[in-house]
Amino acid sequence: ADMLDAAEADVLAFMAFPRAHWPKLHSTNPIERLNKEVKRRADVVGIFPNETSIRRLVGPILLEQNDAWQLQHRYMSLETMAGLADEAAAPPKIAA
């Protein structure tokens, strides 16, 4: 219970984002999907002779995924994220 109390701010940090983003923020699906793809391609090779060969295989996979996420679709829409920038620029509200 003490550990949960100490981590309360971290656990509830997603609540500072718009409600529409909450399901995506608490999900690890994109990371799990990426790890599965890296594992699938690494299993084909089997044994890597050195660290450089691992980088040659995994690096392009990560770059490809990065490009796909930047160009094809956005995990969180720019419109709702723009609202966050407006809120950050506003002075903080102090409770009376």
pLDDT digits (tens, 9 = 90+) for 52-70: 998 999 999 999 888 887 7
The reply to whether 4 falls in a domain is no
Q: What is the pTM of this model?
A: 0.51
Q: Can you read off the two tokens belonging to residue 53? A: 């060969």
The total number of structural domains in the chain stands at 1
Residue 89 has a pLDDT of 55
Residue with the two structure tokens 């699906």: 29
Low-confidence residues in the chain, pLDDT < 70? 26, 72-81, 83-96
The reply to whether 82 falls in a domain is yes
| Residue 38, domain extent | 27-89
25 contact partners, CB below 8 Å, separation of at least 6 = 14, 17
